[in-house]
Amino acid sequence: MAKDVSRFFLDSNVILDVIERRKNESIMLLEYIREAKLFCCTSSFAHAELVDIEQEFTHITNMLGKRFTLNEILRARKQKRLILEQRENAIDRVKDFFKQYRIETWELDEKGWSTVIEVLRDLNVKAPDSIHVATALESGCTFFVTNDEELGKEVKKKIKWVKPSQALDMLKRT
Amino acid sequence: MLNSEENELHVKEEEMPRKKTKVSSYKRRKPSGARKTVSVRGYSRGAKKITIKYPKRKTRKK
C-alpha cells in the first residue's frame, strides 16, 4: 500500500477509542497517521456524534455518582441533564482531540447527499452510517476504518474496509 | 480627401467582427479559478473540508 495514496476515513468508534484511550490498535494507528502526516478525515456528523457521546458519558457518570441503579441509568440515558460547563467541557475534549491528531472534518454538499441516498439504496445501513460512507466516498478516501464488523461487511461493497489493526499492519509493511 | 480616408478606415475598424472568446462554464462560475470543493484524484466532488467554528465558552475552563 503506497502511503501517499492512503486516505483514511475514521468512523466515530475509532476516534472514540482514542479519545477514551480504550483500544491500543486505534491509538497506535492514529499516532502513526499523525507521525507520517497521512490524510485522515471524518464526517461533520461524526463530529457531532462524538460531542453527544462525550456528553452522555458525563451524564452517566453524574448518575452513577448519585447512586442511581443501572436500570434507572439506562432508562434516563437519553435525558441529558448537564450544566453548561459540562456540555462545554465535552465539546472541548472533542475539539482538542481533532486538533491534536489533525483530523479533518468533511461535509457533504448537494451531490454528496445524493450519494447518501445511493448508499441507502445499495447497502443495508442506517442513516447515520450512510452519511459516513458517502463522506468517505466523496472525500476520496481509500480506506474506511471502523471496528463495526456489520457495517464493515456492507461498506466493503463500495470502499475498502479495514479495522484499525489491519490498517496499522498495512502501513507498517510499506 | 484625407478626412474621408480616415473616416473610411474608422468605419472599417468598427465593422470588423469582434472575435468571440469562449468562456468556459467553469470560469464563469468562479473567476478566481478556485474550486468550491476539492477534487481528489478524479473522485466526484460531493464533499468539502470544513473548519468548525466552535462557539466561545461561556464558562471558565478549569
Q: Is A47 in contact with B52 (Cβ distance < 8 A)?
A: yes
Which helix (H) or strand (E) is A8 found in, with range? strand A7-10
Cβ of residue B56 closer than 8 Å to a chain A Cβ: no
ipTM: 0.84
For residue B7, pLDDT beyond 70? no
Q: Which of residues 97-126 of A touch B (CB under 8 A)?
A: 104-115
Q: What is the CA radius of gyration of chain B?
A: 28
How would residue A65 be classed by pLDDT, with cut points 50, 70 and 90? very high
Which distant-in-sequence residues (6+ apart) come within 8 Å of A91 by Cβ? A51, A54, B54
Domains and CATH numbers, chain A: 7-173 (3.40.50.1010)
Which helix (H) or strand (E) is B6 found in, with range? helix B2-15
Q: Which among B40, B50, B51 is the nearest to A140, CB-wise?
A: B40
Q: Is A140 in contact with B43 (Cβ distance < 8 A)?
A: yes
For residue B61, pLDDT beyond 90? no
pLDDT in tens, A116-145: 999 999 999 999 999 999 999 999 999 999
Q: What gap in Å lies between CA A27 and CA B50, rounded to an integer?
A: 24
Cβ of residue B20 closer than 8 Å to a chain A Cβ: no
Average pLDDT, chain A: 94
The residue ranking higher by pLDDT, A106 or B11, is A106
pLDDT the model gives residue B40: 52
Distance from CA of A84 to the nearest CA of B (A): 7
Residues of B in contact with A49 (CB under 8 A): none
Instruction: Give me the helix-helix angle, A12-19 and A24-35, nearest 10°.
Output: 100
Residue appearing with cell numbers 467554528: B53
Residues of A in contact with B29 (CB under 8 A): none
C-alpha to C-alpha distances, A146 to A102, B9, B36, nearest whole angstrom: 18, 75, 29
Cβ of residue A44 closer than 8 Å to a chain B Cβ: yes
Q: How is the beta sheet containing B47-50 ordered, strand by strand? A: A160-162, A143-145, A7-10, A39-43, A104-108, B47-50
Check: CB of residue A151 under 8 Å from CB of residue A25. no
Q: Is B49 in contact with A106 (Cβ distance < 8 A)?
A: yes
pLDDT the model gives residue A53: 95
Cβ of residue A69 closer than 8 Å to a chain B Cβ: no
pLDDT in tens, A79-118: 888 999 999 999 999 999 999 999 999 999 999 999 999 9
- What 3-state DSSP class applies to A94? helix
Q: Is A134 in contact with B41 (Cβ distance < 8 A)?
A: no
| Residue A85, amino acid | E
How would residue B24 be classed by pLDDT, with cut points 50, 70 and 90? low
For residue B44, pLDDT beyond 60? no
Helix boundaries (H) for chain A: 12-19, 24-35, 44-65, 70-75, 84-101, 110-122, 127-138, 149-155, 164-173
Query: Which residue of chain A has the CA closest to B38?
Result: A139
Check: CB of residue A125 under 8 Å from CB of residue A161. no
Which distant-in-sequence residues (6+ apart) come within 8 Å of A11 by Cβ? A42, A46, A132, A144, A145, A146, A147, A148, A151
